[in-house]
Amino acid sequence: MTTTRTTAEHLMMAVDALGLHAQWVWTGGNCRAIRVQTEPFHCDPHVLITHEWEPFTDGDLRADLSGQNLALGLYLTEDDEPTTSIERVTDSQRIAAAAGALLKPSRHLTVAPRG
């Protein structure tokens, strides 16, 4: 499979094209992530996209991410431990679709115990 040049900006545009909201966010110090939500200013659930083992930095906004592994962490609440998926960057649409799949409402339903 051929990889094309993909930047964080490309990923955010692909997320927006799916009807989701993507934003380059500060996560502390020089750390950044792409935050994916179902709508702007809607806190939870959300997905944070970063490098597999470390956060993005300012330089990653326009750096080529092609061929790298990215971590997509689904947070049901801000303080929650994320459910994480690791995806190799081949194109921005595939990463956007993976983030969107994590946010599907059916993935967040819990079944109440009977009794």
The one-digit pLDDT tens for each residue of the chain (115 residues) are 455 789 999 999 999 999 999 999 998 888 999 999 998 877 789 999 999 999 999 889 999 999 999 999 999 888 888 888 898 988 899 999 999 999 987 455 444 444 4
Query: Are 82 and 73 a contacting pair, CB within 8 Å?
Result: yes
Residue 35 lies in a domain: yes
- Domain containing residue 17: 7-103
Q: Which residues pair with 35 in a beta bridge?
A: 23, 48
Residue 91 lies in a domain: yes
Residue 45 lies in a domain: yes
Residue 108 lies in a domain: no
Q: What is the pTM of this model?
A: 0.84
Residue 113 lies in a domain: no
Return all residues near 81 (Cβ < 8 A) that are at least 6 apart: none
Structural domains of the chain, count: 1
DSSP per position, 49-90: EEESSS-B-GGGGSS--TT-EEEEEEESSTTSPPEEEEEE-S
